[in-house]
Amino acid sequence: MGITVVKREGKSFKDKLFLPGIATGMATTLKHFVKNIKDVEGLKTTQYPEVQPTDITDRYRGVHRLTKHEDDSEKCVACYMCATACPAECIFIEAEERFDGYDEKRPKEFKIDLLECVFCGYCVEACPCDAIRMDTGIFSFIGGTREEFVLDKKALMANERSKDFSND
C-alpha cells in the first residue's frame, strides 16, 4: 500500500532522561530573561492594563453604542436584524410602537450582554439603519457582578463615539 514508516525520535537513554532537554529550554529562558531585564524599555510586550494601547484605529471594535437622531431619539427601529445576526445570541430587544414620525417601531428595551459578546461586529454590519456602532473606543470594561456587564438601552445610548475615531 506504499505505507511509509516514520522513524520515532527520542529513543536514546539521553532523550528518555528529559533532563538535557529541560536544561536546554531553561538556558534559553534564562538568556531571554537576563536580556529583557537589562533592557526593559526595549520589550515588545505592553504592560497592560497599566499601559493602554496607543495604536487603536477605526477598525477596532469596542463596546457598543446606539446612535441617535438630532433630537436625541434612538435611530433603532427594532427590526431584530442585529439580534438575528448575533452568533452569541447576546442581544435582547423588546419592541414597542413609535409615534414620533421616524418609523413604526422602536426598542422599548435593548440589552447586550458583554460577557457573552465576542465583539465580532456582525450586529453593526447587519443593521440597516446605522443604529448600532462599536466605535466608542471602550476596550477595557470592568464590573464586579454579571449584571454590570449587561448594558441596557439607556447605557447604550449614553455611550459616545470616541474622539479618536474619525468621522465617517
Question: Which residues contact ligand SF4 (rule: CB under 6 A)?
Answer: 76-82, 85-88, 90-91, 93, 112, 117-123, 126-127, 129, 131-132
- Residue 145: name the closest of 109, 110, 115 by CA: 115
- Min dist CB 62 to ligand SF4, Å, is 10
- Min dist CB 149 to ligand SF4, Å, is 12
* Residue 114: alpha-carbon gap to chain centroid: 9
- Min dist CB 92 to ligand SF4, Å, is 10
Within the chain, where are the H helices?
13-17, 19-38, 81-85, 122-126, 153-158
Query: Which CB atom, from 15 or from 100, has the smaller least distance to ligand SF4?
Result: 100
- Residue 136: name the closest of 167, 108, 164 by CA: 164
- Min dist CB 26 to ligand SF4, Å, is 42
Q: Which residue has the cell 447586550?
A: 112
The sheet with strand 150-151 has its strands ordered as 91-97, 105-113, 150-151
Query: Which CB atom, from 9 or from 70, has the smaller least distance to ligand SF4?
Result: 70
Query: Which CB atom, from 15 or from 96, has the smaller least distance to ligand SF4?
Result: 96
Query: Which CB atom, from 2 or from 128, has the smaller least distance to ligand SF4?
Result: 128
